[in-house]
Protein backbone atom coordinates (compact mmCIF):
# COMPACT_ATOMS: atom_id res chain seq x y z
CA UNK A 1 0.00 0.00 0.00
CA UNK A 2 1.41 3.37 -0.98
CA UNK A 3 1.05 6.05 1.69
CA UNK A 4 -0.85 8.88 0.02
CA UNK A 5 0.86 11.69 1.98
CA UNK A 6 4.45 10.48 1.74
CA UNK A 7 4.36 8.46 -1.47
CA UNK A 8 6.28 5.60 0.16
CA UNK A 9 5.37 1.99 -0.42
CA UNK A 10 4.56 0.20 2.84
CA UNK A 11 4.41 -3.56 2.50
CA UNK A 12 4.51 -6.72 4.57
CA UNK A 13 7.94 -8.08 5.48
CA UNK A 14 9.20 -10.91 3.29
CA UNK A 15 10.38 -14.19 4.89
CA UNK A 16 13.95 -13.56 3.81
CA UNK A 17 13.97 -10.23 5.69
CA UNK A 18 13.33 -11.68 9.17
CA UNK A 19 17.01 -11.78 10.12
CA UNK A 20 17.55 -8.19 8.96
CA UNK A 21 14.64 -7.03 11.17
CA UNK A 22 15.91 -8.90 14.23
CA UNK A 23 19.48 -7.60 13.77
CA UNK A 24 18.23 -4.01 13.38
CA UNK A 25 16.22 -4.31 16.61
CA UNK A 26 19.23 -5.71 18.50
CA UNK A 27 21.40 -2.87 17.21
CA UNK A 28 18.81 -0.26 18.17
CA UNK A 29 17.35 -1.64 21.44
CA UNK A 30 19.71 -4.41 22.56
CA UNK A 31 16.93 -6.97 22.12
CA UNK A 32 14.38 -7.97 19.49
CA UNK A 33 10.68 -7.28 19.99
CA UNK A 34 9.94 -9.47 16.96
CA UNK A 35 11.89 -12.44 18.39
CA UNK A 36 10.36 -11.96 21.84
CA UNK A 37 6.84 -11.94 20.36
CA UNK A 38 7.55 -15.32 18.80
CA UNK A 39 7.40 -16.75 22.34
CA UNK A 40 3.90 -15.38 23.01
CA UNK A 41 0.35 -15.98 21.86
CA UNK A 42 0.12 -12.55 20.22
CA UNK A 43 -0.46 -12.34 16.49
CA UNK A 44 2.22 -10.26 14.79
CA UNK A 45 3.11 -8.68 11.50
CA UNK A 46 6.01 -6.55 10.31
CA UNK A 47 5.45 -3.79 7.81
CA UNK A 48 8.40 -2.27 5.99
CA UNK A 49 9.10 0.82 3.95
CA UNK A 50 11.57 0.28 1.16
CA UNK A 51 13.79 2.86 -0.52
CA UNK A 52 16.26 2.11 -3.33
CA UNK A 53 15.71 -1.63 -2.88
CA UNK A 54 16.54 -1.76 0.83
CA UNK A 55 14.55 -1.54 4.04
CA UNK A 56 14.55 2.10 5.12
CA UNK A 57 12.25 1.51 8.09
CA UNK A 58 9.89 -1.00 9.64
CA UNK A 59 7.28 -1.43 12.34
CA UNK A 60 6.59 -4.57 14.35
CA UNK A 61 2.85 -4.77 15.02
CA UNK A 62 1.16 -7.19 17.39
CA UNK A 63 -2.33 -7.79 18.73
CA UNK A 64 -4.66 -10.08 20.61
CA UNK A 65 -8.44 -9.99 20.90
CA UNK A 66 -8.30 -6.89 23.12
CA UNK A 67 -5.63 -4.50 21.81
CA UNK A 68 -3.33 -3.56 18.92
CA UNK A 69 0.27 -2.38 19.49
CA UNK A 70 3.30 -1.01 17.73
CA UNK A 71 6.03 -3.07 19.38
CA UNK A 72 8.87 -1.28 17.64
CA UNK A 73 9.29 1.26 14.89
CA UNK A 74 12.74 1.91 13.47
CA UNK A 75 13.78 4.18 10.63
CA UNK A 76 17.32 3.89 9.29
CA UNK A 77 19.35 6.99 10.26
CA UNK A 78 19.88 7.85 6.58
CA UNK A 79 16.13 8.24 6.07
CA UNK A 80 15.06 10.04 9.23
CA UNK A 81 12.95 13.12 8.62
CA UNK A 82 11.85 11.92 5.18
CA UNK A 83 8.32 10.80 6.10
CA UNK A 84 9.06 7.08 6.39
CA UNK A 85 8.10 6.99 10.07
CA UNK A 86 4.78 8.68 9.29
CA UNK A 87 4.16 6.22 6.45
CA UNK A 88 4.74 3.34 8.90
CA UNK A 89 2.35 4.85 11.47
CA UNK A 90 -0.23 5.24 8.70
CA UNK A 91 0.36 1.61 7.71
CA UNK A 92 -0.16 0.54 11.33
CA UNK A 93 -3.40 2.53 11.46
CA UNK A 94 -4.66 0.75 8.35
CA UNK A 95 -3.74 -2.67 9.77
CA UNK A 96 -5.45 -1.91 13.09
CA UNK A 97 -8.61 -0.64 11.39
CA UNK A 98 -8.70 -3.64 9.04
CA UNK A 99 -8.63 -5.93 12.09
CA UNK A 100 -11.41 -4.05 13.86
CA UNK A 101 -9.33 -2.00 16.32
CA UNK A 102 -9.99 1.69 16.86
CA UNK A 103 -6.96 2.39 19.03
CA UNK A 104 -3.23 1.69 18.69
CA UNK A 105 -0.88 1.52 21.67
CA UNK A 106 2.87 2.04 21.88
CA UNK A 107 5.03 1.83 25.01
CA UNK A 108 7.93 4.29 24.97
CA UNK A 109 10.61 5.10 27.53
CA UNK A 110 9.93 8.43 29.24
CA UNK A 111 13.45 9.49 28.21
CA UNK A 112 13.26 8.27 24.60
CA UNK A 113 13.70 10.63 21.67
CA UNK A 114 10.95 8.60 20.00
CA UNK A 115 8.42 10.24 22.29
CA UNK A 116 8.46 13.44 20.21
CA UNK A 117 7.97 11.42 17.04
CA UNK A 118 4.93 9.59 18.39
CA UNK A 119 3.39 12.77 19.83
CA UNK A 120 3.85 14.59 16.51
CA UNK A 121 1.99 11.74 14.83
CA UNK A 122 -1.10 12.08 17.00
CA UNK A 123 -0.33 9.76 19.91
CA UNK A 124 -1.24 10.87 23.42
CA UNK A 125 0.09 9.76 26.79
CA UNK A 126 -2.47 7.42 28.31
CA UNK A 127 -0.55 6.32 31.41
CA UNK A 128 2.87 6.04 33.01
CA UNK A 129 4.13 2.52 33.64
CA UNK A 130 6.62 2.49 36.50
CA UNK A 131 9.76 0.32 36.17
CA UNK A 132 8.69 -0.95 32.71
CA UNK A 133 12.29 -1.25 31.50
CA UNK A 134 13.81 -2.03 34.92
CA UNK A 135 14.18 -0.25 38.24
CA UNK A 136 13.50 3.48 37.82
CA UNK A 137 13.20 3.07 34.03
CA UNK A 138 9.63 4.13 33.35
CA UNK A 139 7.57 4.13 30.17
CA UNK A 140 4.62 6.01 28.82
CA UNK A 141 1.81 4.00 27.31
CA UNK A 142 0.78 6.04 24.30
CA UNK A 143 -2.41 5.66 22.34
CA UNK A 144 -3.71 6.81 19.00
CA UNK A 145 -7.35 6.66 17.98
CA UNK A 146 -7.70 5.19 14.51
Under the banding of pLDDT at 50, 70 and 90, the label for residue 6 is low
Residue 35 counted as domain residue: yes
Residue 145 counted as domain residue: no
Residue 34 counted as domain residue: yes
Collapse the DSSP code of 42 into the 3-class scheme (helix H, G, I; strand E, B; otherwise coil) and give the result. coil
Residue 57 counted as domain residue: yes
78: CATH: 3.40.630.30
CB 90: neighbour CB atoms within 10 A? Answer: 20
30-61 pLDDT, tens digit per residue, is 999 999 999 999 999 999 999 888 999 999 99
What is the predicted pLDDT for the residue at 28?
Answer: 92
HEC string for 106-133: EEEECCCCHHHHHHHCCCEEEEEECCCC
Residue 128 counted as domain residue: no
67-104 pLDDT, tens digit per residue, is 999 999 999 999 999 999 999 999 999 999 999 999 99
> The domain containing residue 71 runs over which residues?
10-103
Tell me how far apart the alpha carbons of residues 52 and 109 are, in angstroms, rounded to a whole number: 32
Residue 44 counted as domain residue: yes
Residue 4 counted as domain residue: no
Residue 51 counted as domain residue: yes
Collapse the DSSP code of 64 into the 3-class scheme (helix H, G, I; strand E, B; otherwise coil) and give the result. coil
DSSP bridge partners of 46? 60
**What does the DSSP 8-state code read for residue 77?**
G
Tally the domains of the chain: 1
Amino acid sequence: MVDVLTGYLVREMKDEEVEEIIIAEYEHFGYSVFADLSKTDYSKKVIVCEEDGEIAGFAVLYWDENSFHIGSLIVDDRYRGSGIGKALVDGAKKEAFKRGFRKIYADVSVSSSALDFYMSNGFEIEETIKHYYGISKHAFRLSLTV
